[in-house]
Amino acid sequence: MSHAIYFSLMIKTDKTSLYRAVSEPKHLENWWPLECSGIPMKGEIYNFNFTDAYDWYAEVKSIKQWKHIHYKMTKSDDDWNATTFGFDLEEKSNGVYLHFFHKDWPECNTHFKHSSFCWAMLLKGLKDYLEKGIIVPFKDRE
């Protein structure tokens, strides 16, 4: 049995801005990793660098411009290596619903629970970045 994290939240922005924030390295760096590289195309490899000890890689498994991007971890912590996470966008009249998932966790252990909390905090940071222009310094991100 695998485990998954799911969140849905409304972000008062347009789908282009939200899509760029979850797919373009220069925007990802404003709310998630310290440094990032990658190209939003299927099969491309992203590098999510948090520290020298947490220098992770993921492959773009599915992508549709302005609609979604899904990443499959390829080099990370043992718990994360089996996982896929993604961002699905649903445009509404008052903003964009972001449907986030992080699935295929092997265990519901402390790391899974901590990552769930961290994703909630990071997605709040993404919302604040897009709605208010706030960039939380990397050292202050959970």
- Predicted structure pTM score: 0.95
Question: Whose CA is closest to 124, among 10, 19, 6?
Answer: 10
Q: For 104, phi and psi rounded to 5 degrees? A: 75, 30
Which DSSP string corresponds to 79-103? HHHT-EEEEEEEEETTEEEEEEEEE
Residue type, position 20, single letter: R
CATH superfamily, domain 3-140, is START domain (3.30.530.20)
Q: What is the CA radius of gyration of the chain?
A: 14
pLDDT in tens, the chain (142 residues): 899 999 999 999 999 999 999 999 999 999 999 999 999 999 999 999 999 999 999 999 999 999 999 999 999 999 999 999 999 999 999 999 999 999 999 999 999 999 999 999 999 999 999 999 999 999 998 6
d(CA 65, CA 88): 11
- Joined tokens for residue 63: 């992508």
SS3 125: helix
